[in-house]
Amino acid sequence: MNADFADLLDQHMRRIRASAGAVATEIGMSREAVNNWRRGVSKPSKRHRDNVVACSSYLRLNEQECNAFLASLGFNDEFADFESSLPVDYSVMFRQLEQTRPYPIILVLSQAHIDQPPQKQVIIEMATAKYPEHQVLHVQLPFANKINPAQFFKYMGTHLNLQGVEDELSFEFALSDALQTTPITLLITRFEQGNPICRQMLAGILRNLCEMYVGRLQLILCGGEGLSALKYAQGELSLLNIAASHLLEFDLHTWLRGQSIDTLFIDEKSSADELLYTLVGHHPALASSLYQAINLNYTLAELNDSLAHNDMLYCDFNQVLKIADKQKLSQLLKSNDLGSFRPHLQDVTLRKLFWLNLIRKKNNRLVWQSEPIRQFGQNMLTE
């Protein structure tokens, strides 16, 4: 049985001592609405799902906690089920990092609805084993969008155990002092969230320190669209244009080989592998969700209905509709081939569709994840 949303919200707010006003400011709701949620007077509707996801990020919930938070409202998972995910092979990423000269910086990029990266602890353990002479540090960027630079860098200093950090300048000095003592491998996750000005300042400081202490600072930065923009958006002026990039790609067939699922499904004509691929392509959260439904003996009609009313897809396409040229989006929704894949997609609509995992790369072309997902978008556009 799912926990009560009001109880979970109250519990998580108390855990980090968050006020209703602070939560409301960060997620774009009124303080009265947040208080009503917390007291159980009202609950968020489907159109507020993105606000609930933002709330989970601000309250520092991990992927499993976020899914449970959403489930308490009857919403679909935001992330693929961590427990049933296959470990990712990061050896290619580390080889790429070691070949990046003179500045060892790598951006580990992933689309929406899968952790960034899926197993942080695996990277930390591999880095510790590969670089015994390095101090391996990890920090996740704060979600708060209203945070000022002094607060942001004080947060970073605290989580990296740097002494005397009060602002961006003292952060740079403190990290510089630490690098003089020992080489550092720094893993930063959720690089795309929070205040964009603070992110840019951090990227500038890290680039500067990499250039000052060549080979003594290794950076592994994990994120999505926002992190990618720091490498590609402004060409030669981009703050992280000196970094290598590595795109994590979820592969449905590889993932399914690690799952306990019947070879044949319902009518003994379609395998579960074929069925899931037809319904969701390589979408991690949808694959995870429908895999669980198959194990609960959902019929094919029930699976199609579940996908047609998926609140996560509704919110993701709603994000696209807010920024897209409707005529351009209509053309894309009528096509199976959406053009060539590029590391940085200039078209804002294609870029948003890609990072929200609604479209994917296939043989260096862009295609819809699946026909049902394309149809879902068409239905929303014509509503």
Q: Is the pLDDT of residue 259 over 80?
A: no
Q: What percent of the chain has pLDDT over 70?
A: 93
Q: pLDDT digit string (tens) for 305-351?
A: 999 999 999 999 999 999 998 999 999 999 999 999 998 999 999 99
Q: Is the pLDDT of residue 260 over 90?
A: no
Domain boundaries, the chain: 5-75, 91-247, 252-308, 311-382
Q: Which of 188, 173, 176, 179 is nearest to 219 (CA)?
A: 188
Per-residue pLDDT at 302: 93
- Local confidence band at 240 (pLDDT 50, 70, 90 cut-offs): confident
Q: pLDDT digit string (tens) for 370-380?
A: 999 999 999 99
- Local confidence band at 117 (pLDDT 50, 70, 90 cut-offs): low
**Per-residue 3-state assignment (H helix, E strand, C coil) for 71-126:** HCCCCCCCCCCHHHCCCCCCHHHHHHHHHCCCCCEEEEECCCCCCCCCCHHHHHHH
Per-residue pLDDT at 27: 94
Q: What is the CA radius of gyration of the chain?
A: 22
Pairing mode, strands 365-368 and 337-340: antiparallel
Asked whether the beta carbons of 80 and 116 are under 8 A apart, the reply is: no
Distance CA 1, CA 72 (A): 9
Q: pLDDT digit string (tens) for 188-210?
A: 998 888 899 999 999 999 999 99
In the numeric block, which tokens belong to residue 349? 């609509």
Domains 5-75 and 91-247 share a fold: no
- Local confidence band at 85 (pLDDT 50, 70, 90 cut-offs): low
* Coil vs helix vs strand at 367: strand
Q: pLDDT digit string (tens) for 17-46?
A: 999 999 999 999 999 999 999 999 999 999
Residue-averaged pLDDT of the chain: 90
**Which option is the CATH number for 5-75: 1.10.260.40, 1.10.287.130, 3.30.70.100, 3.40.1190.20?**
1.10.260.40
In this predicted model, which residue has the larger pLDDT, 2 or 271? Answer: 271
Tell me how crowded residue 257 is: count the other CB atoms within 10 A of its CB.
11
Kindly tell me the burial class for residue 69, based on how many C-beta atoms sit within 10 Å of its own C-beta (0-12, 13-18, 19 or more): buried
Superfamily (CATH H level) for 91-247: P-loop containing nucleotide triphosphate hydrolases (3.40.50.300)
Asked whether the beta carbons of 26 and 144 are under 8 A apart, the reply is: yes
- Local confidence band at 256 (pLDDT 50, 70, 90 cut-offs): confident
Most confident of 65-79, 89-103, 121-135, 360-374: 360-374
The arithmetic mean of pLDDT across residues 1-8, rounded, is 84
**Which option is the CATH number for 311-382: 1.25.10, 1.20.120, 1.10.10, 1.10.1760?**
1.10.10
Sheet holding 184-189, edge to edge: 135-140, 184-189, 217-223, 105-109, 244-247
